[in-house]
Amino acid sequence: MEFGGDIFQDLYIEFMFWSVLVGVITFVWMIHHSFVYRTSDGDLSGKRIHLRTQLDSLRHEMKRAGMDMEFEIEEEEDERAWPNVDNIKVGVFPKENDNLKLELFWTIIPFILICYLCWISWAPTDAIWPSAYELEDAHEVGVTGQQWFWDFDCKGLTSDLCDVGVDSDTGLTVLSLKLDETYILNLSSRDVLHAPKIVQYGLTEDAVPGMYTTIVFTPYETGKYFLDCAEYCGDDHAYMTAIIEIHT
């Protein structure tokens, strides 16, 4: 079964495509510049320029702090050993190294990509969290969390639509639901914050003491799926598990 259904699978593929593409471009660009603009073997001028810049910056900060201490660094007699080829000055970005078109490109393009990814993410969100009041044929089921188990209430539904039992192999509570039926899971908690998560469907929502939250859930494949707690709730949090069984 595809994680989260077709709509989430398509979204996963889309995000993975752009992640790989942007990653490849970034690393190719980085590797290219690392080799093309590296200091030539045996030429220490780049390191000397960097050291000179650091020393000038230190003097600048000491003056700002009111420290009049002066110090001199012993330099080689040959001034060519300290060539300032980029005309670097402390606190001033070399204007000749500026590239407005390039800066606009790597600012605007990522912004457009982020807006696009946010836009395509709205459809799965609307599919999973529609307004419960707009669902005419949905069946309500109560899900209550308590340290450290789940309590289910079928709210008068027939046993074909909703049933609660115990798994003979694991001893876990089983909530039995019908395939292709839409359910509104009304979540609540008797003690602390919990978060029921239907693992294989990728659905989760907080169950908050003193209030109700909802998950709209339409099972699309038969089988047994775990309902875990995704919010740390105490010593036995890791064992707060139930089973949701989907049948035809």
* Span 17-46, average pLDDT: 80
**Per-residue model confidence (pLDDT) at position 5:** 57
pLDDT band at 87 (very low <50, low <70, confident <90, very high): low
Average pLDDT over residues 146-175: 94
- Local confidence band at 136 (pLDDT 50, 70, 90 cut-offs): confident
The strand pairing partners of 241, in sequence order, are 228
Whole-number mean pLDDT of the chain? Answer: 82
Cα–Cα dist 206/113, whole Å: 30
CB 183 within 8 A of CB 166: no
Is residue 18 within 8 A of residue 117, CB to CB? The reply is: yes
Mean pLDDT of 167-184: 92
pLDDT the model gives residue 128: 58
CA angle 221, 202, 130 (to 5 degrees): 85
Q: Got the DSSP string for 37-100? A: TSPPTT--HHHHHHHHHHHHHHHHHHHHTT----------S-GGGS--TT--BTTB--GGG--H
Structure tokens at 34: 């690392």
Helix 100-128, helix 6-36: angle, nearest 10: 160
Pairing of strands 149-153, 213-217: unpaired
**What residue ranges do the domains of the chain occupy?**
6-128, 139-247
- By the 8 A CB rule, do 133 and 186 touch? no
CA pair distance 167, 226, nearest whole angstrom: 12
Residues 181-234 have pLDDT tens digits of 989 999 999 999 999 999 888 788 999 999 999 888 888 889 999 999 999 999
Contacts of 9 (CB under 8 A, 6+ apart): 2, 3
Pick the CATH number of 139-247 from 2.60.40.420, 3.40.50.720, 1.10.3720.10, 3.90.75.20: 2.60.40.420
ω before 150 within 30° of 0 (cis)?
no
- Ranges of beta strands (E only) in the chain are 139-146, 149-153, 162-166, 173-178, 183-189, 196-198, 203-204, 213-217, 223-229, 241-247
